A and B are shown apart, each in its own frame.
Chain A
Amino acid sequence: MESITNSIQGVPLNHYILFCAILFSIGVMGVLIRRNAIVIFMSVELMLNAVNLLLTAFSVHHGDASGQVFVFFVMALAAAEVAVGLAIIVMIYRNTSSTDINVLNRLKW
Chain B
Amino acid sequence: MNLFYFIAFLSIFFSLLVIFSKNPVYSVLYLIVTFFTLTIHYILLNAQFLAIVNFIVYMGAIMVLFLFVLMLLNLNEDSEPMKSNLIKVAGVVAGMCLLVTLVGSFRALGDSDPLILKNPEIGLVKNLGKVLFDEFLLPFEISSILLLSAMVGAVLLAKKDPKKI
Task: Tell me the complex Cα distance, A17–B8, Å.
Answer: 12
- Residue contact B158 to A66, C-beta cutoff 8 Å: no
State how many angstroms separate the Cβ of B27 from the closest Cβ of chain A: 5
- Residue contact B116 to A91, C-beta cutoff 8 Å: no
> Given known contacts A26-B19, A60-B122, A86-B69, is B4 in contact with A91 (CB within 8 Å)?
no
Q: Is A5 an interface residue (CB 8 A)?
A: yes
> Given known contacts A7-B1, A60-B117, is B109 in contact with A33 (CB within 8 Å)?
no
- Residue contact A45 to B114, C-beta cutoff 8 Å: no
Within 100-120 of B, Cβ neighbours of A (below 8 Å) are at 102-103, 106, 109, 111-120
> Given known contacts A10-B1, A28-B98, A56-B47, is B19 in contact with A39 (CB within 8 Å)?
yes
Closest to B142 in A: A73
Grouping DSSP codes into helix (H, G, I), strand (E, B) and loop, the A interface class, with mixed when no group exceeds half, is helix
- Residue contact B120 to A26, C-beta cutoff 8 Å: no
Total cross-chain contacts (CB, 8 A): 262
Hey, which chain A residues are within 8 Å of B139, CB to CB? Answer: 73
Give which listed residue, A25, A30, A60, contacts B18 with CB less than 8 A.
A30
State how many angstroms separate the Cβ of A13 from the closest Cβ of chain B: 4
Closest to A83 in B: B154
State how many angstroms separate the Cβ of A101 from the closest Cβ of chain B: 8
State how many angstroms separate the Cβ of B128 from the closest Cβ of chain A: 6
Closest to A2 in B: B120
Q: Mark B148-164, 1 if CB is under 8 A from A, else 0.
A: 01110111011010000
Within 16-56 of A, Cβ neighbours of B (below 8 Å) are at 16-19, 21-30, 32-36, 38-39, 41-43, 45-46, 49, 52-53, 56
Q: Which residues of A contact B (CB under 8 A)?
A: 1, 4-5, 7-19, 21-30, 32-36, 38-39, 41-43, 45-46, 49, 52-53, 56-57, 59-66, 68-69, 71-73, 75-84, 86-91, 93-94, 98-100, 102
Mind listing 12 A-B residue pairs with CB under 8 Å?
A8-B4, A13-B113, A14-B109, A15-B8, A22-B12, A29-B92, A42-B66, A45-B58, A66-B136, A83-B154, A91-B158, A98-B79
Please provide the 6 A-B residue pairs with the shortest distance between their CB atoms, ordered closest to farther: A32-B91, A29-B95, A80-B150, A30-B19, A63-B118, A33-B91
